[in-house]
Structure 1
Amino acid sequence: MDILSLVTYAMIASFTPGPNNIIAMSHAKEQGFKCTFPFISGVAAGCLLIMMLSSYFNLILYQYIPVITPALNVFGCIYMLYLAFKIMKSTSAKSEAEDKSKIHYSFSFGFTLQMINPKVILYGLTALSVFVLPYTQSHAQLILYSLLLTLIGISANLTWALGGRLFQQFLLKYERPFNIIMGLILIFTAISFIK
């Protein structure tokens, strides 16, 4: 197995904009880096569960994955396009400051969001079916690779949250152009699912 290819794919898939990364960044910008920990913990738990389910789903339905992948890709693309347009249309943080100060993204919100996040579901299905299952079907290795993929994904969430906190003043000053750029990058990521 080519572990370097798996890690490279995982890093690219994890660090590109997605719902969890953008929420982690926005939440850290508004309420501080430490306040994102419950949300990111929920995302981590959801990610690990998805990776484990993906491992065994792929193992059971290995021969059918090429048939269902296009449908999953289209669903993921539509969901991410929806999120991109929501980000691009969002209003200024200054006008929503009071509302946002009341929002606290919890463990359960992070977990639930992760369970319906097509980017992570596709990430798990693709990484495990392409890079792991052709080489091993050992339960211990499936668990190990699920943990590895989860750690890479969570490092992306933490990085985005830290970036949101460190660049808070810049992001507040240029929020509208930044949201448009992030929305466009998310659109590009969504379109890459259906190529």
Structure 2
Amino acid sequence: MPNVPAFLSYVIVTTFTPGPNNIMSMSNSSRYGFKKSIFFNIGVFFGFFIIINLCNIFSMTLINLIPTIKPIMTFIGATYILWLAWKTFKSKPINDNNGTIKNHTNTFIYGLLLQFANPKVILYAITTVSTFIVPYYSSIFILLLFALFLSTMSFISTCCWALFGSIFQSFLAENVKIINIIMSLLLVYCAISLFF
């Protein structure tokens, strides 16, 4: 069984920190209203669910074909998490007023397809599945439950950013250093706990 506090810390920190999904959700909500932007969030949910399941298949195949790969996958996952901790520590607040977001980004298909071009989601899915899930579970039903849980967390995150985007944005801007330190330390804890 994985270290549950480390798993949940990693999921919460990574899911709720700024990224393309959360920023687009906040932007859509501020431009179209929450109700009209909800289809984007639903698209994110389904795209995320597909990505997690593809990572489940990929990781299960690797572990079944090469059982000795688990320590390598753990090391790569821990390294990536430490890199995320460093990037989180050094990050600055994101300003979405640069005019790069195009019109009609509040659709289901846009949210779905964004997942396949979103490096944060792809790396998050690979790291989470290969480090916290597949080394401990092999049941298809359990893997689907994890995919559903992670997709739901993503949906909750995008909805929170949509509902409270302006509050989060100003709060992050005012307290960016403290928040970055706390999130970075949680990620370092996650990386270290993978080896115990």
Q: Is the 8 A contact 2:73 2:130 kept in 1?
A: no
C-alpha distance 66-4 of structure 1, shift in aligned 2 (>3 A): closer
1:4 aligned onto 2:4: yes
| CA–CA separation in structure 2 for the residues paired with 1:50 and 1:102 | 25
Alpha-carbon deviations, 1:13-41, whole Å to 9, x = none?
10011000011011111221112111111
Q: Is the 8 A contact 2:74 2:130 kept in 1?
A: no
Instruction: Specify the alignment match of 2:123 in structure 1.
Output: 122
Query: When the two structures are aligned, how many residues end up with a matched partner?
Result: 169
Instruction: Specify the alignment match of 2:15 in structure 1.
Output: 14
* Aligned-residue offset at 1:118: 1.2
| CA–CA separation in structure 2 for the residues paired with 1:102 and 1:67 | 41
| CA–CA separation in structure 1 for the residues paired with 2:97 and 2:11 | 29
Alpha-carbon deviations, 1:86-112, whole Å to 9, x = none?
x55844xxxx7xx98953421111111
Calculate the TM-score normalised by the size of structure 2: 0.68
* Aligned-residue offset at 1:122: 1.4
Calculate the TM-score normalised by the size of structure 1: 0.68
Instruction: Specify the alignment match of 1:112 in structure 2.
Output: 113
C-alpha distance 57-31 of structure 1, shift in aligned 2 (>3 A): same
C-alpha distance 121-68 of structure 1, shift in aligned 2 (>3 A): farther
Instruction: Specify the alignment match of 2:194 in structure 1.
Output: none
| CA–CA separation in structure 2 for the residues paired with 1:110 and 1:31 | 15
| CA–CA separation in structure 1 for the residues paired with 2:110 and 2:122 | 17
Instruction: Specify the alignment match of 2:135 in structure 1.
Output: 134
* Aligned-residue offset at 1:164: 2.4
Identity %: 32
| CA–CA separation in structure 2 for the residues paired with 1:27 and 1:20 | 10
Residue identity opposite 1:127 in structure 2: T
Q: Is the 8 A contact 1:31 1:101 kept in 2?
A: no
* Aligned-residue offset at 1:57: 0.6
Instruction: Specify the alignment match of 1:30 in structure 2.
Output: 31
Q: Is the 8 A contact 2:27 2:96 kept in 1?
A: no
Q: Is the 8 A contact 1:51 1:146 kept in 2?
A: yes
- SS of the counterpart of 1:153? helix
Q: Is the 8 A contact 1:10 1:153 kept in 2?
A: no
| CA–CA separation in structure 2 for the residues paired with 1:8 and 1:67 | 17
For residues 1-195 of structure 1, what are the structure 2 equivalents within 5 Å? Answer: 1-2=1-2, 4-5=4-5, 6-62=7-63, 63=69, 66=73, 69=76, 88=95, 90-91=97-98, 103-164=104-165, 167=167
* Aligned-residue offset at 1:2: 3.7
